[in-house]
Structure 1
Amino acid sequence: MTWHVAEEDLRGYARGELAPPLLWSADSHLVACAECRARLADVSDPVALDAGWERLDAELDAPRPGLFERLLVRFGVADHTARLLAATPILRRSWLLAVVSVLFMSVLMVHTAHTPGLFLGLAPLLPLIGVALSYGPGIDPTYEMAVVAPLHGFRLLMIRTAAVLAAALVLCGLASLALPDYGLRALAWLLPALALTGIGIALMPRLGPVFAPVLTGGAWIGFLIAAQQATEGTPAPFTAPGQAVTAVVALAAAALVRRLRDRFDSSSAHTPFAGFGPGGAV
C-alpha cells in the first residue's frame, strides 16, 4: 500500500460519520489493508466495527444494476420498480430479437404478396404473448421474490404489462413504417393489440397467466380466419367500424381488469393453467 487512511478519517469511519466519497475510499482500502484494519480496531467500538463490516458485506454482495435499470432510475423511476422492469423476461435480448425477426418476415411477406393481412393479424398477438411470458411461476425469474415481497400482484402485473406494451408497440410501430403504401391502415393493429392484451389480463384471475393469453390468442386467430372467409376484402377488425368496436372492447377490458384487480393476489392468478385440474373448471 502506498497510502493509508488518515487517523481522523478512521475515527470518523468508526463513529459512522464518514461521508462519501471518503467512506467508499475507506471501505475499499480497508478490505485490502491489514495495517489499517488493525488501526481501526484500536480506535473502534467492537459493536460499531462489526456493524461497519456488515454494511460493507451488504454493499459488496448487492447486485449491480444494469444499463437499462440505471437509465430507468435516471428518468425518475423508483429503484424497486426499475428492478422489476429490468427483470421482465420480455426485455431480454433473445425475445427482442425474436420479435424483430417475426416482424421482419411478416413485413417481407406483405411486400411479396401485396396484402397487409398477415402483419395486421400477427402484430396484435405480440404484446399478448409478451404478457404471458412475463408473469407467473416458471416464467418470471423474480417470481419467488415477488410472492414474498409486500407488493400487490396486480401492481406487479401492470408494471410488467407496461414494459411489454412499450417494447412490443414500439417495435410494431417501427415495422408499420416499412409499409408506407398502406398509410394509416398499417396501424390498424394497434387497437386490436390493446384489446387482446386487456382481455387476456382480465381472464388471468380465472384461467391463469398462461392459458388466458393462449385462449385469447386462439380465439383471435379463429376470428380472423372466419372473417377472411366471410369477405374477400379487408377483415372486419381492420375496417373503420371494426376499429370502433375494437376500441370499445379495449376500454371494456381495461375497466374489467381494474374491477378485478384484487383477485390477482389469489392462487389461481398465479397458476399457469388455473382453469384445469382438480377443483378447476373453465
Structure 2
Amino acid sequence: MLSETIKTLRKQAGMSQEQLAGRLNVSRQAVTKWETAAGTPDVENLRAISALFQISLDDLLENRSPIPPEQEFRFHSVTEYDIDSIKDFDITFSGANGVVMTGYEGEKLQVLLGSDRIANLDSAFKVKIDDIKKRIDVDVRRFAGMTESNAKESLHILIRLPQQYVGKIELSGNTQNLELQNVRAENAEFSGKVSRTLLNGFSGRLELNSNTDMEITCHDLNGPLDVNQVSATSRLTLPQGLPFCTVTRGILNSIHYQQDGETAKDFSLRGEDAGHCDNVIELNGIKSELIINASSHKIP
C-alpha cells in the first residue's frame, strides 16, 4: 500500500512525521492521514515525496520501496555513521547474495545486513568504517567460521548513501545480484564477480569490472557505462528508444544487438548524434562479447 511505502521511506530516512511535514510544507496531520490510509497525497505532494526520497513516481505508486526495510529479514543489523562533507566511498565485502546501493536525502551512511538464515548475524559479520580525510572506507568482514559460500547464499547488504555527500564510489566483492538505485556519483566502479546487475535511477559514469557472464538490466541510462571483461559474454537490456552510442576497445571484443531477444542490426547512435550523446556504452578487455537488447516491454 502507498501508506506503508511512505511510512517506510520516512523511517528509513530517520525522519519524524513532523520533520517530513516540514520538508513537504504540509501539516503533521496530513502525513498521519497518508500513513494510515485515511487520506492520499495529491499529485504535487506525490512529486515532492518522489523527489525527497529519490524514488520514481512509478515505484512509489507501485509500492516498491527502493530498499527493503530490515524488518523484511528475519535477522538484521544496522551500522550508521554521520557524514558532514563530500566523501569518496570505498566499500568492500567478501561475499553476499545481493547488494543494493541507494542514495537518499539524509546525513548518515547506513549499512544494513539482513538474512533469513544466519541467526548469529552480529557475530558472523562486522562492518568496519574508517573516515580518512576525504574518503570513507567500509569493510564488511566475515567472522565466527562464516564461509564465503554461506554468505553468497544467505547474506543481503543494503547500503544507503547520503546523496548530498557522495563523490566517487568504489565497490568490490562477489555477489549474485547488484542493484544501484537512485544514486548520483561522479564515477562509480564495481570490481569482482556478479551475475546480475540492475540500474534504476543511477547517474554518472559506471564501470563494471567482472570476468563472469553478466545480465545487466538498465531501467534508464544517465551517463557512460564501461564493461570490462576477459573471455566473457554478457547481455545488457535497456528500454527501446533509449539513445546511446557504443565503443569497442581491447582485443577481440565485439558488440551485438537484439530487439526483444531477436537478432537485430546495430541501432546505436552514429556520427554527429553519437558525438552529442552522454550514454556511451564501452566494451573493453579481451575476447569478450556484449549483447545489447532493446526491450519494448516494461523492464521489471
Quick check: which has more Rg, 1 or 2? 1
Question: Is the TM-score greater than 0.5?
Answer: no
Coarse TM-score class (shorter-chain normalised): under 0.3
Higher strand share: 2
TM-score, structure 2 normalization:
0.23
